[in-house]
Amino acid sequence: MTSLSEVGLDNNRFLDDGFPCDPQVTTLLEISSALRYPYRLSLTWQGNDACDNWKFVTCDLEKNVTQIDLGNQQFKGTISPAFANLTALQYLYLNDNNLTGSIPVSLTKLPNLRVLDVSNNNLSGDIPAFGPGVLLNTSGNPGLIPNNGADGTMPKGKRRVIKANVIVAGILGTIMGVIFFFFLGRRIASKTKRKGGSAESKTEQACSNILSHNVHGKSQNGLSFQELVLLDFQKLAAATNNFDPINKLGKGGFGLVYKGKLEDGQEIAVKRLSTASGQGLEEFMNEAVGLKVENCT
């Protein structure tokens, strides 16, 4: 179409006559275009308000898009640089798809970005340098070239496996796409259930040498945010049967604690962060980083 001079957008599912397209809607349409307009997006991405029940999109009370979870959808295409237009975006999950191309450098300019998960795709090229406050998961992309000077990245071969026996999970509001966790031995979970009371206090009694953390997000044993293991919300929900009340172990300082079981049979306990706890995500992450349990019996 070398002679195309005009494109009409009337009579579509996004615009009402006489109203301009919302900037967030425009950006999300650019993102959808880079993904080759998946049918699953076209079913729910309708209207001129991206915060009005658009699937995979989460907004704050001011109707700013703060989370996009497109993980594990088998989407094809590329990562659109237009993501950078969503300046309130904090959590971006593009993992377990068939995405190609590079990670746009423009994503490093997102001022509020906390988590970017692009694992298990077919991405290539240099990994941009993200700030130290960004949890970046790029595993499962053999074509990506680590930027060793980039804070917040987890270069292949340099991610350290943390062997611990405590799982800590945080969910802000109703859901949050990625959970920070450590494994909890089944003895702690069963001991907590038998004795009753606060799951948090029982865990502390069972494992008295939990290390404390400081406000800079690094524990006394030198662990950092980059060393946390990531578990997506869908897997965590499945492990706890959608946080069934039957699986509730008790209530700690951050919120409710649930028992669950992963697909490999590993029993876990999930600490769910409540918005009423008075604790923010940063404080929660600091605690997750600082937790390490040794010799629990």
- Residues at the binding site are 271
Please give the backbone phi and psi of residue 212, each rounded to the nearest 5 degrees, phi first: -85, 170
Q: Six-digit token pair at 39?
A: 């049918």
The total of other beta-carbon atoms located within 10 Å of residue 119's CB is: 21
Radius of gyration of the chain (CA): 21
* Selection from 167, 170, 145 nearest residue 156 by Cα: 145
Q: Are 41 and 74 a contacting pair, CB within 8 Å?
A: no
Q: Helices 199-206 and 186-195: crossing angle, nearest 10°?
A: 120
**What string of DSSP letters covers 209-253?**
TPPPB-TTS-BTT---GGG-EEEEHHHHHHHTTTT-GGGEEEE-S
d(CA 228, CA 135): 9
Give the CA count within 13 Å in the CB-facing half-sphere of 250. 18
Q: What residues are designated binding site for ATP? A: 271
In DSSP terms, 180 is beta-bridged to: 230
Angle at alpha carbon of residue 67, lines to 64 and 69, rounded to 5°:
145
Report the relative pairing of strands 65-69 and 91-93 from DSSP bridges.
parallel
Q: Six-digit token pair at 63?
A: 């109707």
DSSP conformational letter for 30: H
Q: Six-digit token pair at 162?
A: 């943390």
Residue type, 225: F
